[in-house]
Amino acid sequence: MIFHVLQAGLARVWALKKIWLLYYLTHLVLAGLAVFPARRIMLHYAGYSHMGGNLAQGMDFGLLLEFFHYRGDALSPVLLFAALLSLLFWLILLFFSGGTLRLVMAGSRYKARDFWGSCGRYFGRFLRYFLWTLPVLALLLMAPQLLNLLKKMIWGPDPREAVLYWLGWAKTGLRFLAILVWQLIFDYGRIRIVHSNDQKMSNTLLRTLRFAGKEFALVFSLTILLAAAGLLVLLLYNPAANLLNAPTPLALALLFLWQQLYMVFRAGLRLITLSSQARMYRYLQLE
């Protein structure tokens, strides 16, 4: 069933290629805005010397440490700008998701009026629903702390170093799973808002929690599969990008092309995730 849902989700995304292009261009523009100030500061420091040219072959950690030592004051505005840009990126994608879900669930082709009208119609409700889900996120992130109680019960107040090491990894894994669970609650809540035209977000949250609890095996399996696909492609992307780190025009052109293909995939994965989850929701609601 999961692969049938993925196939149907991919088919809907392919029918909405203009939205896929919109997501890709958003990634491209905001990535360019993020890189520009950092490039200007590093270029001003390293210049066009051999030291700066070596950066084309990969990150020079010696240069990076020197930069932090001599130009660390320049990082604060850059980090603030990056944080604001990340927030803007998230808000834009949240805005787009209203129109995307509307067209996906209606099974219709792209129409500018329908897409942009739905983006505006659901954006405020999505923001309110996000605020309602924050206590759920906090509770989920606190759950791994129960391992500390388990540690004291089994190994006492002074466990071995190996126990602390593996418990640390277990906490990291549980936090990652907690974020995935919160993400599916947030995603299926947005789907419910579009599907049922909910106005009261507290009811949406309760009904979404009930739905996610009842169908947890299916919805979480789909979430894990999509997250694993993104991680697998990232693991394939990084070694290939490292092979193309050479200060030659051909290598830089190939690296740029490879980066754009990865951004196209990431944009498509966001759409496939929403489309597949919407398909899963409708299928389970009709059972």
Blockwise average pLDDT, block size 10, the chain, 287 residues: 86 91 92 72 55 53 58 66 88 95 89 93 95 94 80 72 78 89 94 92 94 91 91 88 75 85 92 92 77
* CA distances to 18, 37, 207, 277 from 202, in Å: 34, 41, 9, 21
Q: What integer pLDDT is reported at residue 249 of this predicted model?
A: 78
The residue type found at 118 is S
Q: What integer pLDDT is reported at residue 49 of this predicted model?
A: 47
The long-range contacts involving 167-172, CB below 8 angstroms and separated by at least 24 positions, are: 170/144, 171/144, 171/145, 171/147
- Do residues 85 and 30 make contact, with C-beta atoms less than 8 angstroms apart? yes
Residue burial 148-184, b: 16+ Cβ < 10 Å; e: rest:
eeebeeeeeeeeeeeeeeebeeebeebbebbebbbeb
pTM, to two decimals = 0.83
Helices 216-243 and 201-214: crossing angle in degrees, nearest 10, is 90
